[in-house]
Amino acid sequence: MTLYEVYVRGYKDADEDQSVFEVIQESLGEIQDLGVNTLWLTPILQHDGYDHGYNITDFFSVADDLGTEAEFQDLVEAAHDRDMHVLFDLVLNHSARDHEFFQRAQAGDPEYRDYYEWQDDGSPGTYFEWEYIANFNYENLEVRRHLLDAVDKWAEYVDGFRCDMAWAVPDPFWQEIRERLRSKDDDFLLLDETIPYIADFHDLAFDIHFDTTLYFTLRQIGRGDAAADELTEAYRQRAVTGFPDHAGFMLYIENHDETRYVEECGRAATEAAAAAQFTLPGVPMIYAGQEIGERNRRGKIYWEHAQDDLREYYKTLTGTRNSIPALQYEGDYEEIEYQADSDEVVAYAREADERYVVALHFGEGEATVSFPAESVDATDAVSGDSVAAAGGDATVDNVVVLPAGE
């Protein structure tokens, strides 16, 4: 699986006679050509006007600025026709304060006041001082029924949920959702946004988790605030935290909540970090625009200024991963002995039917690396070129994936 996050407002401009859903549908071919098979769409429901869409005013209606429910259904069906999956961004912790329920609560209706959490000063419960949302009161049965009905409705359309602020919703509710979904579809996927990640969430309800530790480590390495071998420690944290070996992790270097990696860390580090996404165990995620060097975090993507060579690089990464089982989800990961002339280099092995050694270089230019305990073929599986250097070493620009013997 390779994910592609589409920030639905700003992905591409729609003509007067097109909806946003139709524009995305027309783009499925080029998205799939990137090597992607799963779309994550940011919230598509009626909202309070902020373009991120996470402040929802109606959990049962598609946002007017995106199109109709029928057009959304057409988009999903078109993706399915291409053997692509669609993840729906599920927001359950809160509603917008413009939601009818909250407006009634604010007006003093005691029934609806019980739908929300309230602070001692009379203001609604919220997180991070967000002033446009109000946290639901999950002790209220009507709230739970309302949200479960919404879950049931949208699950009929899509293949999984990306669960916003999963840590803020009571655990029993996620368990109830999982049981409802799995009773109808054994393959329905649940991806949790939990920062930092929580190992108990795997057995609780979720299949895939944001790999937040890896994300923050890649940022530190890319900025030059940590040596590249910290990547090894970041990977170890999955087991240290208590996740089982089979737990899935989404590997990302940017999303709609974060600055673009290339803006903060530069092109060389970006290429190495992207290679980490596609050579470490997990599910790589590309945030739309990442593949062309886009610097806007949200909103309009300037496709006309695309760095085409970077897009080709991403296609090469997805193609390499898709063609080598060792690099995929089930491939084993192993720490290895290596020596390099730069602390911006890290290396590890992946193995399925065959064994490969991966080396990443986060710095400018070329670095030299050797593998004292490995017998490697110096033909790089990514570029197809020989990367042999004197003395049995190998050179690495951003990434090399080398076949290895016993």
Distance (Å, rounded) from C-alpha 134 to C-alpha 126?
5
Distance (Å, rounded) from C-alpha 376 to C-alpha 247?
30
Beta bridge partners of 339: 370
Q: Where are the beta strands (DSSP E) in 211-274?
A: 248-251
Is 333-404 a CATH 2.60.120 domain?
no
Instruction: With beta carbons less than 8 A apart as the criterion, state whether 358 and 400 touch.
Output: yes
Candidates 5, 22, 159, 164; catalytic one: 164
Domain 3-331 shares a fold with domain 333-404: no
Q: Is 221 helix (H, G, I), strand (E, B) or coil?
A: helix
Q: What is the pLDDT of residues 317-344, one digit of tens each?
A: 999 999 999 999 889 999 999 999 999 9
406 has pLDDT over 70: no
The predicted pLDDT at position 1 comes to 94
Q: What token pair was written down for 36? A: 């992607």
The predicted pLDDT at position 299 comes to 85
- Asked if 294 is an active-site residue, the reply is no
Q: What is the pLDDT of residues 151-163, one digit of tens each?
A: 999 999 999 999 9
Instruction: Return the sign of the alpha-carbon dihedral for residues 154, 158, 159, 160.
Output: negative
Q: Where are the domains of the chain?
A: 3-331, 333-404
Q: What token pair was written down for 131? A: 């002033």
Q: What is the pLDDT of residues 58-84, one digit of tens each?
A: 999 999 999 999 999 999 999 999 999
Q: What is the pLDDT of residues 261-302, one digit of tens each?
A: 999 999 999 999 999 999 999 999 999 999 999 999 998 999
The predicted pLDDT at position 394 comes to 96
The CATH number of the domain covering residues in 3-331: 3.20.20.80
Average pLDDT, the chain: 96
What single DSSP character describes residue 116?
Answer: B
The predicted pLDDT at position 28 comes to 98
Candidates 71, 193, 211, 294; catalytic one: 193
The predicted pLDDT at position 55 comes to 98
- Asked if 164 is an active-site residue, the reply is yes
Mean pLDDT over residues 45-50, rounded? 96
| pLDDT band per the 50, 70, 90 thresholds, residue 20 | very high
316 exposure class (CB count in 10 Å sphere: 0-12, 13-18, 19+): middle
Distance (Å, rounded) from C-alpha 30 to C-alpha 32?
5
Q: What is the pLDDT of residues 219-271, one digit of tens each?
A: 999 999 999 999 999 999 999 999 998 899 999 999 999 999 999 999 999 99
Kind and range of the H or E element at 403?
Answer: strand 399-404
